[in-house]
């Protein structure tokens, strides 16, 4: 039985290779999935829900998600005549500690499942 996703505390660091796995526009959900190495016992998914803007790369080596410092690129996408609701988080994505994109979303969830369930 898999564990249900839990809201992830920020900053979140996943010390494995994570790939952009899917984006479902109907639910505005972005999923990163960590592929396991031979010794790993779990598969990790990071799910960003209620996505309103994003700029991602295909692969993150040591994915870190943290609150974004002021970023003109994010502001250009989401700051319009009506301010963005405070329930949305402006998040920076890092790969090996280097900035590598962003996501503006309502929540970040972490989900781990045993490898034998894949």
Q: What total of structural domains would you count in the chain?
A: 1
Q: Is the pLDDT score of 80 beyond 80?
A: no
From 23, 18, 39, select the one nearest 111 (Cα to Cα): 18
Tell me which of 77 and 109 has the higher pLDDT. Answer: 109
| 104 in any annotated domain | yes
* 37, 15 contact by CB (below 8 A): no
Taking residues 71-93, report their average pLDDT.
88
| 13 in any annotated domain | yes
Measured distance CA(2)–CA(113) in Å, rounded:
5
Q: What is the pLDDT of residue 50?
A: 95
Tell me which of 84 and 99 has the higher pLDDT. Answer: 99
Structural domain including 100 reads 6-113
> How many other CB atoms are found less than 10 A from the CB of residue 105?
23
pTM of the model: 0.87
Residue with tokens 């250009």: 76
| 53 in any annotated domain | yes
| 37 in any annotated domain | yes
Average pLDDT value for the chain: 89
| 87 in any annotated domain | yes
* 104, 77 contact by CB (below 8 A): yes
Q: What is the pLDDT of residue 2?
A: 54
| 51 in any annotated domain | yes
> How many other CB atoms are found less than 10 A from the CB of residue 31?
18
- Token reading at 6: 């839990």
| 118 in any annotated domain | no
Measured distance CA(92)–CA(68) in Å, rounded:
5
Assign 3 a pLDDT band (cuts: 50, 70, 90): low
* Element of type H or E holding 114: strand 107-114
Q: Is the pLDDT score of 1 beyond 50?
A: no
| 1 in any annotated domain | no
């Amino acid at each position: 039985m898999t564990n249900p996703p839990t809201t992830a505390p920020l900053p979140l660091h996943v010390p494995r290779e994570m790939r952009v796995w899917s984006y479902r526009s109907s639910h505005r959900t972005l999923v990163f999935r960590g592929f396991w190495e031979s010794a790993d016992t779990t598969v990790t998914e990071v799910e960003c829900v209620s996505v309103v803007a994003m700029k991602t790369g295909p692969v993150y080596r040591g994915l870190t998600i943290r609150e974004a410092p002021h970023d003109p690129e994010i502001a250009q996408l989401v700051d319009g005549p009506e301010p963005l609701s405070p329930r949305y988080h402006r998040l920076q994505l890092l790969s090996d500690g280097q900035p590598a994109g962003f996501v503006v979303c309502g929540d970040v969830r972490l989900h781990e499942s045993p490898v034998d369930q894949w």
